[in-house]
Amino acid sequence: MKKGFYLVMAAQALSSVADNALLIAAIALIGDLQGPDWMAPMMKWWFALSYVALAAFVGAFADSYPKGKVMFCTNAIKIMGCLLMFCYRDFGLQTSGELVLVFCAYTLVGIGAAAYSPAKYGIITEMLPPDMLVKGNSWIEGLTVLSIIVGTVLGGVLVNPHVSSSLLSHPHIHHLVQTRAEAAILPIGVVYLLAAICTLLIPRTMVSYPKQETHPWRLIRTFRGYVRILWHDKLGQVSLAVTTLFWGAGATLQFIVIEWGARHLGYRLDQASILMGVAAVGTVIGSVVAGRVPLRRALSVLPVGIAMGLVVLLMPLVKATWAVYCLLLLIGGLSGFFVVPMNALLQHRGHVLLSAGHSIAVQNFNEQLNILLMLAIYSLMLWLNMPINLIIVIFGLLVAALMLVFMRWNQRNHRADPTLYNKIGQYGHGQALH
């Protein structure tokens, strides 16, 4: 691995830690402002909407400049969103207005994340050859999920009543913060600053792309063509379908675990955030193990996705702490093991057919669109006061059923074209653009 790759990993880890800690702080802030239960998943919904709305533009932006500089600029946007949330009391708004401001602040962080992602993943395909992509993705995904653990736990710790009291009474901090939310958001902003420093140190890869389109309508029309190319590719369509399902399910599972911890186990927010961290530990383990899977065998892990959906069905049956932790570790491990090879295959096909930035933008568009759909359905279920255990059963069955459909889809593609296997591991990029 090149030195620059480790700097990318460090920047990604720190930025992701801050994103996830800020989510917990924002959920706590909504609770402090007595917002409704459905507001927290809807906040994540607006975060995901940024990816969908900007998908046609962020790929071209990532491929127009050195990706290290793109990561720095987009991380700066995240810092602005964090600062806006920190200053939620300074605008003299009513409680309802403060809730809207929290939404806007986290949406701004989402805009930064949407533009950050094509550069973050695109630079991997520029730095590593195809035969190193699964290993590189294993590192990135494992570290990303590890940062989710650290960020989630950090957010939970920062909103803990005892820690909040300590921060609010600290001699160097108390004159800067006056509420629990402000005390949590301040150190999160420092983590964003550390991420920005790492992005400045990332070396240029010297990979260049043709001059990118700048006209908005032409960008949208071109992006629609890119989406069509990846969905029509027999390898790209299956891997894109799987990763789209995974990220939508993963984002929804975050909120399901928090609600499940509160209703089924009687946990506070800071305690429930630990459960999210436990599941993420399993995902790290699964991601590391998946690093041993060669790119050419990526499709062999599809049955693991079915197993993950079925294991989720066990959640309503456990209450003992050890059983809860073991089950969440298993769910996380299965998800990490099957998504890393799929992600690597999708990035490989995207790079071969399109370009680094545009292929990741297409991937983000589809994944975040599914996050919007699944979070909207979950919010509707909460609004209808459905029992959390019933929601979990519906969720697990849906994941297992869709993974079975994707397996059959992949088998049909290989029967129709026996040469598909030989296309995995090809060199070059932009073949579909010529």
Whole-model pTM: value is 0.70
Where are the alpha helices (H) located in 233-268, listed in sequence order?
Answer: 234-263
Q: What's the number of CA atoms in the CB half-sphere (13 Å) around residue 222?
A: 20
| CA separation for the pair 52, 39 (Å, rounded) | 20
On the 0-12 / 13-18 / 19+ scale of CB atoms within 10 A, 427 is: exposed
Correct CATH for 1-201 of 2.60.120.10, 3.40.50.300, 3.90.76.10, 1.20.1250.20: 1.20.1250.20
Where are the alpha helices (H) located in 128-215, listed in sequence order?
Answer: 133-159, 161-169, 180-201
| CA separation for the pair 277, 152 (Å, rounded) | 6
- Enumerate the domain spans of the chain: 1-201, 220-426
CB 324 within 8 Å of CB 279: no
Correct CATH for 220-426 of 1.10.287.990, 3.30.565.10, 3.40.50.300, 1.20.1250.20: 1.20.1250.20
List all residues 6 or more positions away from 287 whose beta carbon is below 8 Å from its beta carbon.
138, 141, 142, 145, 336, 337, 339, 340
User: pLDDT truncated to tens, each residue of the chain (434 aa)?
Assistant: 567 778 888 888 899 899 989 988 888 888 888 877 777 777 777 787 887 888 778 777 777 777 788 889 999 999 999 999 998 888 888 888 888 888 889 889 989 988 887 777 777 777 777 667 667 766 776 677 778 778 878 888 888 888 888 888 877 777 787 788 888 899 999 999 999 999 888 877 766 666 666 677 888 888 888 888 888 888 878 888 888 888 888 878 878 888 888 888 877 767 777 787 788 788 878 878 887 777 777 788 889 889 988 999 998 888 888 898 999 999 988 888 888 888 778 877 777 777 656 677 788 788 888 888 888 888 888 888 888 889 999 999 999 999 999 989 988 988 888 876 677 766 656 565 55
| CA separation for the pair 92, 104 (Å, rounded) | 16
**Max CA-CA distance within the chain?**
70
